[in-house]
Each structure stands twice: as structure tokens, then as C-alpha cells.
């Protein structure tokens, strides 16, 4: 492209062409972070559930929930490091910024919930359920919002399922209805399948098709 002067029509056409070129496209591996967090949460959930059943409901098993932070966090760093080269090849869009801030905020809120939960443990209060409710509601909210931003229906629906489940669990907690391992853990796993695993695979498949 040379530095030539354009007439009005050519200018408008050039603007339209450039905007079209930079239109947001999915990139290969778009759903990898979702898949990583989704599978980690589901597998750890299963591990906690099995441990609770085998130990007759020993609350110490709940410390296994921290594996989500450890395994998820390490995986996220690896995926993000691999993704760094992308910034040279693709523009960083407003959608990228909103998505990144959205999940960042959700991460901080969940970290706060985790810290509160740990804090209460020291006062002899069994508040693991806070983390559970946070997981349902925050993952659901994040997934739904991200779905709206990316116009990805599977994320909107998956997130909505988790929000409904989270509200139900919160209702049980507030009404002193006991949360039984046999239904809470499968519900937790199912929610992560709907909010992260299915949308992650859908996004990756769409990106593969598009690129």
C-alpha cells in the first residue's frame, strides 16, 4: 500500500475493508482455558466427592478443593504463555479486554470467597459451602456474560444452568436443607460440564472451522 491520496468513495471503501479485515475472529485454541478450568474443576469435584464418601464425610477432604486453584492456576499460566505470541499476529480487541477483565474480576471474587472460607475454618466454622455456592454462581455468571460477549449460545445456556443450580444450592443453605454429597457433587460436576467443558469444545471446533 502506497501513500496515495484518495477520493471520498475510495476512502470509505478502504475504511470498510480494513474494519472487515480486523473483525474479531476466533483463534485456534480459543476454548483451551475453559477446557482446562472445566476439566480440573470436574475432576477435583469427583475426587472430593469420592473422598467424602469413602471417609464417611470427613470435612478434611474439603481441602482437596484447593487442587482446583493449584492445578488450574499452573495450567492457566502455561496456556497464557503459549498464547503470548498471538499478540503479534492478531490485534487485541475490546472484546479481548472485556473478557480478560471479566474473568479477572471473577477470579478475584472467588479468591476472596476462598480466603473467607479458610478464615472461618480457624474459628471452627465449616464454611466450605461458601466456596461451593461461589463456584456455581461465579462460574455461571462468567460463562453467561462471556457467551453474550462472544455471541456463543452454548456459554449463555451453560452459564444459566449453573446460575440456577447455584441459586438452588444457596436456597438450600439458607433454609438449612442439608447438602448431601450424592447430589451436590454430581450437580457441581454437571455444571462445570455445561459452563466450561461443552462451550470450550464448541469454541475450539468453531475456531478450527474458521481458521
Partner 1 sequence: MLKELNPLLHSQLRLAIMSILMNCEEASFVYIKEQTQATAGNLSVQLDKLVAAGYITVEKKFQGKKPLTLCSVTDEGKQAFEEYVAALRGYLDVK
**Phi, psi for 188 (deg, rounded to 5):** -60, -50
Residue 6 Cβ, how far from partner 1 at the closest point, in Å? 6
The conformation of residue 57, written as its DSSP 8-state character, comes to S
CB nearer partner 1, residue 96 or residue 160: 96
Answer whether 66's CB lies under 8 Å from 115's CB.
no
Instruction: Identify the CA nearest to 64 among candidates 183, 193, 181, 198.
Output: 181
DSSP letters, 139-159, are: HHHHHHHHHHHHT-HHHHHHH
Instruction: Label residue 30 exposed, middle or buried (CB < 10 Å: 0-12, 13-18, 19+).
Output: buried
By CB under 8 A, is residue 151 in contact with partner 1? no
What is the footprint of partner 1 within residues 9-28 (CB under 8 A)? 9-12, 14-15, 17-19, 21-23
Burial of 43 (C-beta count, 10 Å sphere; 0-12/13-18/19+): middle
* Closest distance to partner 1 from the beta carbon of 89 (Å): 6
Give, as ranges, the residues between 82 and 121 that touch partner 1 (CB under 8 A): 84-85, 87-94, 96-97
Residue nearer to partner 1 on the CB measure, 2 or 176? 2
Considering only the stretches 7-15, 59-67, 108-116, 196-204, report the one whose residues sit in contact with partner 1 under the rule CB under 8 A. 7-15
Q: How many residues sit close enough to partner 1 to count as binding (CB under 8 A)?
A: 31
| Binding residues vs partner 1 (CB under 8 A) | 1-6, 8-12, 14-15, 17-19, 21-23, 84-85, 87-94, 96-97
Amino acid at each position: 500500500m502506497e501513500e496515495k491520496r484518495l477520493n471520498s468513495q475510495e476512502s470509505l471503501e478502504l475504511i470498510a475493508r480494513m474494519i472487515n479485515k480486523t473483525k474479531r475472529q476466533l483463534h485456534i485454541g480459543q476454548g483451551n482455558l475453559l477446557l482446562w478450568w472445566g476439566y480440573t474443576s470436574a475432576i477435583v469435584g469427583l475426587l472430593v466427592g469420592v473422598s467424602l464418601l469413602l471417609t464417611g464425610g470427613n470435612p478434611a477432604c474439603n481441602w482437596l478443593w484447593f487442587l482446583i486453584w493449584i492445578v488450574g492456576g499452573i495450567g492457566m499460566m502455561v496456556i497464557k504463555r503459549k498464547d503470548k505470541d498471538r499478540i503479534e499476529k492478531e490485534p487485541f480487541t475490546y472484546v479481548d479486554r472485556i473478557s480478560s477483565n471479566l474473568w479477572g474480576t471473577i477470579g478475584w471474587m472467588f479468591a476472596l470467597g476462598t480466603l473467607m472460607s479458610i478464615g472461618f475454618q480457624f474459628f471452627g466454622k465449616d464454611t466450605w459451602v461458601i466456596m461451593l455456592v461461589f463456584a456455581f454462581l461465579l462460574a455461571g455468571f462468567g460463562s453467561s456474560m462471556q457467551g453474550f460477549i462472544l455471541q456463543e449460545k452454548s456459554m449463555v445456556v451453560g452459564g444459566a444452568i449453573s446460575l440456577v443450580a447455584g441459586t438452588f444450592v444457596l436456597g438450600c443453605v439458607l433454609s438449612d436443607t442439608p447438602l448431601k454429597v450424592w447430589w451436590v457433587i454430581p450437580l457441581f460436576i454437571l455444571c462445570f460440564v455445561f459452563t466450561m467443558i461443552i462451550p470450550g469444545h464448541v469454541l475450539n471446533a468453531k475456531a478450527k472451522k474458521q481458521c
